[in-house]
Amino acid sequence: MAKPERRAVKAPRTVLLKLSGEALSGRGEFGIDPTHLAHLARNIIAALRAAGRRVRMGIVVGGGNFIRGADWTRTVRVVDPATADYMGMIATVLNALALQEAIEKAGTEARVLSAIHVRQVCEPYIRRRALRHLEKNRVVIFAGGTGNPFFTTDTAAALRAIEIGAEVLLKATKVDGVYDRDPMRHRGARRFTRLTYSEALRRHLDIMDQTAFTVCREHRLPIRIFNLFKPASLSHALTGKPVGTIITA
């Protein structure tokens, strides 16, 4: 049985924030909405400041507001699956560059490191370089997914979180946690405040893709699912206050 999360836990020192591409477009629209992007960046910076600049943050951003490789594979047979995935990875670079600009305009240094090399506009992903940027309290935005086709940005988030020594993977969504049923379709859906990896697997809960979830489980990396659009939710996650659903060993 899932356990309640009644009180705050120790605030993390290093976190990995996973954003969907839609987080930059507003409520699921195509492309990037400048007003929404600016609001998102201000929320990120406000949450970091609320944590007293003790928190080092890496961000993995998806590209679904432009293209989803998996969708193209199912609907447009003219594009090879590997090519469709590379197109999706390039879309994440667009999002990462936009987010970098918005964060810096909000008052905090940021760097984009991409697994797909685009040297004219961002740095290549090198783990030690990422760690150095984090030591300088820069927000590090990881683009290009894993750099390989057939892997999701959820998997990229799990890998980067482990590589930078994150104490928690924060997955920002449109709902305030994990439910026993789809809360958009079922009014009586029940939200879990705390789950174990085993409970989540047994209940077949749709948290992230199986590869990403397995990586987190093997490395005992906690996953916190929360509603990005709910006021102060990111701030609560960074300061250890109960928010959303936490998944642990």
Please give the Cα distance from 67 to 134 (Å, whole number).
29
pLDDT at res. 1 = 47
Please give the Cα distance from 97 to 113 (Å, whole number).
10
Please give the Cα distance from 30 to 249 (Å, whole number).
37
Interval 51-69 mean pLDDT: 89
**Residue 29: pLDDT above 90?**
no
pLDDT at res. 186 = 84
pLDDT at res. 42 = 95
The answer to whether the predicted template modeling score (pTM) of the entire model surpasses 0.85 is: yes
Interval 224-231 mean pLDDT: 91
Confidence of residue 61 (pLDDT cuts 50, 70, 90): very high
71-125 pLDDT, tens per residue?
A: 666 666 778 889 989 999 999 999 999 999 999 999 999 999 999 999 999 999 9
Please give the Cα distance from 199 to 214 (Å, whole number).
13
Domains and CATH numbers, the chain: 14-248 (3.40.1160.10)
Residue 102 sits at the vertex; the CA angle it makes with 112 and 125, to the nearest 5 degrees, is: 5
Q: Which residue has the higher pLDDT, 144 or 50?
A: 144
pLDDT at res. 100 = 99
Q: Which residue has the higher pLDDT, 225 or 53?
A: 225
Please give the Cα distance from 130 to 164 (Å, whole number).
8
Question: What is the dihedral angle through the alpha carbons of 177, 90, 143, 111, rounded to the nearest 10 degrees?
Answer: -130
Residue 226 and residue 176 in contact, taking contact as beta carbons nearer than 8 Å: yes
pLDDT at res. 188 = 84
Please give the Cα distance from 161 to 170 (Å, whole number).
10
